Amino acid sequence: MIYVPQPSPVGVYFVEVVVASDLLKASRRLSVSVESRYDVVELALPVRLLELTGGATAPVTITVKNLGNAPTQVILAAECKTQALRCYFQVSGKSNLSLYVLPSEEKPVSMIIEALPAAAAGQYLVRVSAVGGTSTASSELVVAVSGSKDMSIGTKQLLMTVAPGSAGSIQVGVLNTGSVSLEVVAHTIEAPQGFVVTITPSSLQLLPGEKRELIVTVKVPENATEGVYNVAIGIEGNGLKMYRVLVVEVRGDAELGYYAFAVILVAASFIIVLYSQQRSRSGVWSRHK
């Protein structure tokens, strides 16, 4: 093995190799040609135009090549020319990445391009650059955003009070705040054991600006103990994911409290009627006198 130090100038050098024993001796003269060491970094993109909807993401595989005769450390950087997009490399989760590339080696790198939900329709430029030891390269990609994709849920936390063995319902409003239609699907993520959760409808289609209601019904088992329970529901629409927590308070006197309140209302109405009749009779007797 022959090692050539890094600062050696370009030229031809001679090395003599000697093999000797007690009786024999042989030598060979080798010429070593020291040439310049360099890297040639090249970038290749599979597409030049990428179509996205606001709120969507897409991977783009970049190929990094070293066409030189020396290994090199390549620094990759992704730059979005607008705040409507977010660009990062899947490996690092950041907009820059360092990788080691040997001569004649090709390395695929996955870059993620994300169009923010509020991105306006239009065409945006994404630039990818690579810096090696002795060379640089860059390439550009146009991202066409066709519209925004977003939705909002009426409330972040819901509260329901029910008695053991009974059921309660609550409405959850879903609003399409984007500019494209959404296929919305609602499902139960987590519920206490024995609780039956029903979401009606389980799926719906929302036009831009349209709002519809989901009815979440929770059936509490008869043997449920008093306390506070959490029911988690998920609402998804074309890749958008939102979660809400329904707080269920189980109280044994939940129904009794309603009936007691109703009895109080009936009693108060009865007393008012009696009092009115009494005043009416008093007025009649006073006129007769």
Tokens coding 154: 């009426």
Residue with tokens 């008869």: 222
Nearest to 111 by CA among 124, 136, 94: 94
| Phi, psi values for residue 91, rounded to 5° | -70, -45
- Does residue 114 lie in a domain region? yes
Give the pLDDT confidence score for residue 278 in this predicted structure.
57
- Does residue 284 lie in a domain region? no
160-193 pLDDT, tens digit per residue, is 899 999 999 999 999 998 888 899 999 999 999 9
- Does residue 8 lie in a domain region? no
CB 82 within 8 A of CB 143: no
Do 164 and 124 lie in one domain? The reply is: no
- Does residue 73 lie in a domain region? yes
- Does residue 19 lie in a domain region? no
Mean pLDDT of the chain: 84
- Domain count of the chain? 2
| The domain boundary residue, chosen from 125, 145, 165 | 145
Do 56 and 81 lie in one domain? The reply is: yes
| Residues across the chain | 289
Nearest to 141 by CA among 82, 80, 65: 80
- Does residue 26 lie in a domain region? no
The mean-pLDDT minimum among 23-27, 70-74, 86-90 falls in 23-27
Domain interval for residue 169: 151-250
The mean-pLDDT minimum among 19-23, 159-163, 274-278 falls in 274-278
CB 198 within 8 A of CB 158: no
| Phi, psi values for residue 282, rounded to 5° | -60, -40
237-262 pLDDT, tens digit per residue, is 888 889 999 999 999 864 444 444 44
Q: In angstroms, rounded to a whole number, what is the distance separating the alpha carbons of residues 128 and 113?
A: 12
Global pTM reads 0.54
